[in-house]
A and B are shown apart, each in its own frame.
Chain A
Amino acid sequence: MDREYEKMLELLLRSLDETLSPGELEQLTEALRQSDRLRQEKATLLKMRQQLAEWQPAEDTGFSARVMQQLGKQAEEDLSAVIVRLFPRVAAACVVVLFLALGGIYYTEGNLMVENIIGVNEMLMEDAIILVDNGY
């Protein structure tokens, strides 16, 4: 008896979420017609499913504001992360450019004296005085 009831209960549960075959449906209908217990079980299950379908957490009016605030914070963090991530590459590129420039100076001037690097050796003293007088 209990085994038969268990079988019908399984069918009942399946019927709530999937389509039973015509044979199974007929079996279940007959069992429901005959068994008070099964009818009660069905009513309880339907009530529980109704309660679950209606279940919602308590409303949270400040939620969207918190999300937007969090997004702003994330954007700042993302920017910092980009800077931190790019820094080694930018630094490496600068070092390469610096070495290329120094290499170029050495190639043309034959040495790496400060005057050659900053380019003042090509300037006459008079030109330098004129530039200083004109406020450059």
Chain B
Amino acid sequence: MRTDTELIALASNGDENAFRFLVERYQQQVRATVVGMLGEVPEADDVSQSVFIRFYKSLDKFRGESGLGTYLTRIAINLSLNELKRRQRRFQRFFSIQKEDRVMEIPDHSESPERMETRDLIGQALQRLEPDFRAIVVLRLVEGYSVKETAKMLELPMGTVASRLARAQRKLKEILNNFSEK
């Protein structure tokens, strides 16, 4: 089996199959980060694709200082955070047009948790965290990066990551408890 470095070199020389292998190798990792951040929504697919397209365009710039998985995860987390900001702006615009004091109706799939698989429960619980906390949980607990690596990727002090992680876990536990009580 070819290494990432070999595949990157081939892809840089225009070998599309080599690039396809790289996509297949890292798609689950990238999708886990993006879906963890955005939820199972159509935009998650667009953002996941954008991660690889952006990587393809910067193949020559990839120095291999960090592993390819880490490099792609960093792109994935940044693009997801950008998408969340865009989503927030869209909502704000929508509500400023509406100018009505209505409560935002988000479909609540938590009504029948017994039907949900653990995967869905975890996915939904993640979506209920604030984006900054979610990013930390996705990187540290889903992707398994250390606190130090997570801090580096998010450009945050390690202490901030550790304290947000602790708060996020308490919140997640609370959310999951609520799901199981319903």
Contact = CB atoms under 8 A, between A and B. Distances in A.
B53 A74 contact: yes
A45 B24 CA distance: 32
> Which among A45, A55, A63, A74 has the highest number of chain B CB atoms within 10 Å?
A55
Given A60-B31, A70-B53, A17 B162 contact: yes
Q: How large is the interface on B (under 10, 10 to 19, 20 to 34, 35 or more residues)?
A: 35 or more
B28 interface: yes
Interface string A50-76: 011101111110011011101100100
B58 interface: no
Contacts of B162: 14, 17-18
A96 B163 CA distance: 65
Given A13-B169, A45-B169, A48-B173, A66 B49 contact: yes
Interface residues of A, number: 27
B21 to A, nearest CB: 9
Given A59-B28, A63-B23, A53 B147 contact: no
B47 to A, nearest CB: 12
Interface string B28-65: 10011001100010001100110011001000000000
A44 interface: yes
Nearest to B48: A63
Interface of A: 10, 13-14, 16-18, 44-45, 48-49, 51-53, 55-60, 63-64, 66-68, 70-71, 74
